[in-house]
Structure 1
Amino acid sequence: MNSARYLLPAIFSLLLVACGGGTSVKPDAGKTQTPTMQQPVPKKGGYYLDDGPGDNPPADIDNIPDAVPRAETPLPRANRPYSALGRRYTPMTEHSPYKQRGVASWYGKRYHGQKTSSGEVYDMYSMTGAHTILPLPSYVRVTNPENGRSVIVRINDRGPFHDDRLIDLSYAAAYKLRLIEKGSGIVDVEALDTNGKTIPATNIAASPQASKPAAPGDQPLPPAESNAPANTMTNAMNETAINQPVAGDYVQVGAFSLKANGDRLVETLQQHNLTDNVQVENWYNAGTYRVRLGPYSSRQQAEAAAAKIKQVLSTNAIVIRQ
């Protein structure tokens, strides 16, 4: 009886450990343990299609320096009037006041390494942007009014060709403005001069980004020559725009079979300040590269410009009507 009195408590203790003591029982090695936390699902945001951040971004994107405004020659072909997705655009050909509020989107790895409308290669980690009408190249300050963050970017591409968007930003620029997670957001865009100062925005109305779609009676644009890249323009998103001539009086200075010869003449005209704040371009048509300036506001202005070019360069210059 005495021995039984000591054995009963011991047996009772062993039963408690076996039934309720989780630390004393090893888990079954053959069973898979269920994780207690789910992996977070990455947000897709509002970027294009299957676009997104790069796989190996720089360590500190916030330290990527802003673009530094400087004097650059506008690119004639990239600043010609053009048509894209059924709308017509007339780019600015000189640095003018511009201030607009609208939606900014961004493009990343899907378009990284593609050619922009300016001919440069898109780098998602550089401070660049795309705009429909600002000169290529030019510089703007982009501000996120929600958080006060501001960046300076170099406009080197055309787009976005969507009614609800004002500007496309590189991944780096959008990151610094904290637009990455949302994919897009409201921003203020201000044109800067070559010293990085805001061009005075006196009496500026809201700038239309494009004209209305062509009416059914409008003449269709001529088909682009298959071997004439100067008649088309492609942005980093592989969207093709068709360059479109504007009616008016032009001054034709030369005609060449080689594009390089026309490009050299364009540079000479610019170096001698003979462009008179009009567009000068090496325009391809019917197998020939024609260097021309215009359109001028009147035939008298065109004739005066032609006479000045003849005097300075001792070359033929004729007035033509487009």
Structure 2
Amino acid sequence: MACSLVLLLGQLSGCATRTPAPADRDGPPSSPPTDLSRVPDAVPRLEAIRIGGPNKPYEVLGERYLPITTDAAYAERGLASWYGRKFHGRPTANGEVYNMYAMTAAHPTLPIPSYARVRNPANGREIVVRVNDRGPFHKGRIIDLSYTAALKLDLLRGVAPVEVRRITYAEIRAGTWAPAAGEPAPVYVPEAPQGAPQRETTRGASAGGHWLQFGAFTRLDGAEALRQRVAEADLGLLPLLTIVREAGRHQLRAGPFPSADEARATAARLRDEGGVEATVLESR
């Protein structure tokens, strides 16, 4: 995610995309403006997708990225991070000035510029951001939010799971990108990568089948932190992770799995490859 690295490679011009060095860490502003939660979402409008520039193929840290250059639909689940004062005032991938108080975001491959709806499944909050930068370039992360965008989703405590859906030209023209008043938040179902195993998403921890339990916490923050760790160890489990409140404790579980053998195999892989311990449960 380092802008300087990308510039040296000659792949992108003027970007706030980042890999902070330990001695120069990013963080929140020292004196943020009041009422940032009242900052309005980005309002989608028709903007031409430029061929080349920030939308040309590029390489960062040995990985090659092919940005989308058409008005294509896009939906994905993954981890979100945010960037703040270190990059405030610096140029983004399309040459605009990064404003950590605006409703913007960086994405590795979405067209620049474009608009996306981002939802925090942990609390149901959702926002609309304008994508004008490239990044993040950490495994498992799919979007970097501005400071204010992360604040509105309650994601300032760290990396957390989100759902991202691009708003298409057709939705902008028709005005259907904004949900009607009182309409429940949409559920985004990303397309599975070709060749990926087909699984049902979480149906609720009371459903039958075989489950993995990772831990139980008095505070919700503890379960959320563990969910982040498990997702980073195996991003494919993200749609299956859920936090259940039972007997006054927040329990992190994944499932249901079609068989006890698959649940045990997943637990063994997480233990051996990610150092994450899990117990196999069976709900009836």
Map of 2:242 onto structure 1? none
Structure 2 alignment gaps of length 5 or more: 1-18, 178-186, 195-284
Partner residue of 1:103 out of 48, 59, 79: 79
TM-score (normalizing by structure 1): 0.47
Q: Within the alignment, does 1:180 sit opposite 2:156 as a pair?
A: yes
After the TM superposition, which residues 229-268 of structure 1 pair with which residues of structure 2 at under 5 Å, given as runs? none
**Residues 82-122 of structure 1: CA distance to partner in whole angstroms, max 9, x if unpaired?**
11110111111022111100000000001111111111010
Map of 1:156 onto structure 2? 132
Give, in whole Å, the separation in 2 of the partners of 1:206 and 1:173.
27
Map of 1:58 onto structure 2? 33
Root mean square deviation, CA, Å: 2.6
8 Å Cα contact 2:71-2:168 kept in structure 1: yes
Shift of 1:52: 1.2
8 Å Cα contact 1:132-1:158 kept in structure 2: yes
Give, in whole Å, the separation in 2 of the partners of 1:101 and 1:138.
18
Give, in whole Å, the separation in 1 of the partners of 2:176 and 2:190.
17
8 Å Cα contact 2:164-2:188 kept in structure 1: no
Give the counterpart letter for 1:138 in structure 2: S
Map of 2:256 onto structure 1? none
Map of 1:69 onto structure 2? 44
Give, in whole Å, the separation in 2 of the partners of 1:59 and 1:175.
12
Give the counterpart letter for 2:124 in structure 1: G
Partner residue of 2:91 out of 105, 115, 122: 115
Q: Within the alignment, does 1:90 sit opposite 2:61 as a pair?
A: no
**Residues 250-281 of structure 1: CA distance to partner in whole angstroms, max 9, x if unpaired?**
xxxxxxxxxxxxxxxxxxxxxxxxxxxxxxxx
Q: 1:74 to 1:106 in 2, by over 3 A?
A: same
* Structure number, greater radius of gyration: 1
Give, in whole Å, the separation in 1 of the partners of 2:82 and 2:188.
29
Partner residue of 1:142 out of 118, 128, 152: 118
Shift of 1:191: 0.6
Give the counterpart letter for 1:93 in structure 2: T
Query: How many residue pairs were aligned?
Result: 161
Q: 1:167 to 1:207 in 2, by over 3 A?
A: farther
Give, in whole Å, the separation in 1 of the partners of 2:149 and 2:120.
11
Q: Within the alignment, does 1:127 sit opposite 2:134 as a pair?
A: no
**Residues 15-41 of structure 1: CA distance to partner in whole angstroms, max 9, x if unpaired?**
xxxxxxxxxxxxxxxxxxxxxxxxxxx
Give the counterpart letter for 1:111 in structure 2: F
8 Å Cα contact 1:103-1:166 kept in structure 2: yes
Shift of 1:204: 6.0
Partner residue of 1:193 out of 149, 165, 168: 168
Partner of 2:141, secondary structure, is coil
Identity across matched positions, percent = 50
Give, in whole Å, the separation in 2 of the partners of 1:202 and 1:124.
26
Map of 2:56 onto structure 1? 80
Post-superposition, which runs of at least 4 consecutive aligned residues in structure 1 deviate over 3 A? 201-204
Partner of 1:168, secondary structure, is strand
Structure 1 alignment gaps of length 5 or more: 1-46, 209-322
